[in-house]
């Protein structure tokens, strides 16, 4: 019997040697990532809608129609009234899809979008996890499926949309601006000329320019760059937009003239303003008025107000050294003021959740070591006890709780997406069919966007490169005044 046991133990020796170098924490973290990915898959099934690459079928059908010698903007998808609504430059980028089956094109777009989202999240989370000492792969491994599960991402992937790719182009400019502000830390020691060019960040603005040439709403980022006097990036964005648009004119002149001459102004091609999926200010107002059309003057007045608020808060966030929040505010503002912002356009809630969560963590870290303070009499004019007692700091451990709760609440809102159970379509069904609560739910995402534009906190000094750059300019200005 002992000999038999010894032989069995001996058989396990190779297994022990093979697993000796595996860290148990790595195994546990890998299991957590797998569990989160599975939970995200279940959440998509529970809260998502049936997805069959509906929009991709329109894009694919349009470029196949176009490649067959027909007029691009005359295409109408079968059993619908929908056609191709993007600029000709976007059509040129999508033209290779005509060589693939529509299903393959949809899955290729989904994989590319998830990969782009993973790269963006790695770049955005890197400064946070470095500060907290967390493994980047583990944090990104959790963040990606969580981000994929919420309404904008799952709708983008399920319908075959391009929003995550455009989001990645714009965020690439944020990284470029970050590298340019930290000039000298990477590019001087890079091995190749290409790496030195990349780390120099001189190309910042090109991503925004390309995104604007594909879809017009990213042009608001150019306005932001000009407002904050980031002239080089602004000129790069403008030059990129004009360059690729003129290039499209040179290659496909008739389509370019058709788009900018008529198609661009045919707002009815994209759908009615009051459709539940339209979670912009225009859609909110149309549903509140229970009308297919948006009240024009009211929308214009509120849009100007939101635009001024969003850009001013973004400029202040950048001045305080938080460029991520500045970009997020601009993206959210663009979602709010656009006449049409389908729920899959709202990808800017992803960095908003990150900003809120990090703001809560920063406040929690700042409160460590602070003892609870009892209420004490205040002093007015040297006389104690004249005013009411000063408010106490009850529990330092709860510092940052409201920001953390806001991050969790925002995530759950966009995960559950309560707009769809209360979807209504005029003239058959009024938007007030389910009362005030139903109207609130049908407009919940739009309301959340407006609240974020007005109240999203920024984190002073979160981007030291931009913060130091501002301090250097302030010192130079003060020296010049002397």
21: phi then psi, degrees, rounded to nearest 5: -85, 0
Position 81 scores a pLDDT of: 82
Query: Helix 136-149 to helix 24-47 angle, to the nearest 10 degrees?
Result: 10
Q: Which phi-psi region, left, alpha or beta, contains residue 168 (left: φ > 0; alpha: ψ -120 to 50)? A: alpha
Among residues 112, 52, 111, which one has the least CA distance to residue 77? 52
pLDDT at 266: 75
- CA distance to 86, 150, 202, 452, per residue, from 351 (Å): 26, 13, 24, 11
CB atoms within 10 A of CB 476: 10
Q: pLDDT value at position 363? A: 86
- Is the distance from CB of 367 to CB of 397 less than 8 angstroms? yes
pLDDT attached to residue 6:
52
Give the pLDDT score at 389. 45
Enumerate the β-bridge partners of residue 389.
377
Report helix angle 163-181 to 151-159, nearest 10.
120
Q: What is the pTM of this model?
A: 0.87
Distance CA 51, CA 185 (A): 45
Q: Which sequence spans correspond to the domains of the chain?
A: 271-371+395-482
pLDDT along the chain (482 residues), means of 10: 53 53 83 96 93 92 92 87 89 93 94 97 93 92 97 96 96 90 61 74 92 94 96 96 95 90 76 91 95 93 97 95 95 96 96 95 75 51 47 59 93 97 91 94 97 95 68 58 60
CB contact set of 243 (below 8 Å; sequence gap of 6+): 209
Residue partners of 441: CB distance under 8 A and separation at least 6: 418, 419, 421, 422, 434
At 46 the pLDDT is 94
CB count in 10 Å sphere of residue 328: 29
Task: Check residue 20 and give its pLDDT.
Answer: 59
């Amino acid at each position: 019997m002992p000999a038999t046991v010894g032989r069995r133990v001996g058989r396990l020796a190779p297994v022990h040697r093979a697993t000796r170098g595996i860290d148990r924490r790595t195994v546990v973290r890998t299991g957590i990532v797998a569990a989160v990915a599975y939970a995200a898959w279940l959440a998509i099934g529970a809260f998502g809608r049936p997805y069959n690459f509906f929009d991709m079928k329109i894009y694919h059908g349009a470029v196949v129609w176009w490649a067959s010698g027909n007029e691009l903007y005359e295409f109408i998808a079968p059993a619908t009234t929908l056609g191709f609504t993007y600029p000709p430059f976007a059509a040129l980028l999508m033209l290779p899809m005509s060589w693939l089956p529509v299903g393959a094109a949809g899955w290729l777009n989904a994989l590319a979008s998830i990969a782009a989202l993973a790269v963006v999240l790695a770049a955005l989370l890197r400064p946070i996890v470095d500060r907290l000492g967390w493994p980047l792969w583990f944090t990104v491994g959790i963040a990606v499926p969580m981000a994929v599960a919420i309404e904008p991402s799952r709708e983008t992937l399920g319908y075959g949309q391009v929003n995550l790719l455009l989001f990645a182009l714009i965020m690439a400019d944020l990284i470029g601006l970050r590298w340019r502000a930290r000039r000298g830390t990477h590019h001087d020691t890079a091995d190749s000329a290409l790496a030195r060019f990349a780390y120099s960040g001189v190309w910042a603005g090109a991503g925004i320019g390309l995104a604007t040439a594909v879809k017009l709403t990213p042009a608001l980022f150019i306005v932001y760059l000009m407002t904050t006097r980031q002239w080089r990036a602004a000129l790069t964005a403008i030059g990129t937009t004009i360059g690729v648009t003129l290039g499209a004119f040179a290659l496909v002149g008739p389509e370019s003239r058709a788009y900018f001459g008529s198609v661009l102004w045919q707002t009815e091609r994209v759908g009615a303003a009051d459709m539940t999926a339209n979670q912009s200010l225009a859609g909110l107002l149309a549903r509140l008025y229970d009308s297919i059309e948006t009240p024009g003057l009211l929308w214009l007045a509120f849009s100007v107000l939101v635009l001024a608020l969003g850009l001013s808060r973004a400029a202040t966030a950048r001045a305080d050294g938080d460029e991520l929040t500045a970009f997020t505010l601009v993206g959210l503002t663009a979602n709010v003021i656009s006449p049409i912002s389908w729920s899959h356009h709202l990808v800017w809630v992803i960095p908003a959740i990150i900003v809120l969560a990090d703001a809560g963590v920063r406040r929690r870290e700042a409160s460590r070591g602070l003892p609870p303070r009892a209420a004490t009499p205040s002093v007015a004019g040297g006389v104690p006890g004249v005013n009411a007692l000063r408010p106490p700091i009850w529990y330092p451990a709860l510092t940052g709780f409201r920001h953390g709760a806001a991050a969790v609440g925002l995530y759950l809102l966009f995960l559950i997406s309560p707009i769809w159970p209360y979807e209504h379509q005029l003239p058959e069904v009024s938007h007030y069919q389910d009362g005030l609560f139903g109207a609130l739910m049908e407009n919940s995402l739009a309301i959340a966007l407006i609240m974020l534009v007005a109240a999203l906190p920024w984190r002073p000094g979160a981007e030291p490169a931009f913060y130091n750059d501002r301090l250097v300019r302030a010192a130079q200005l003060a020296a010049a005044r002397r």
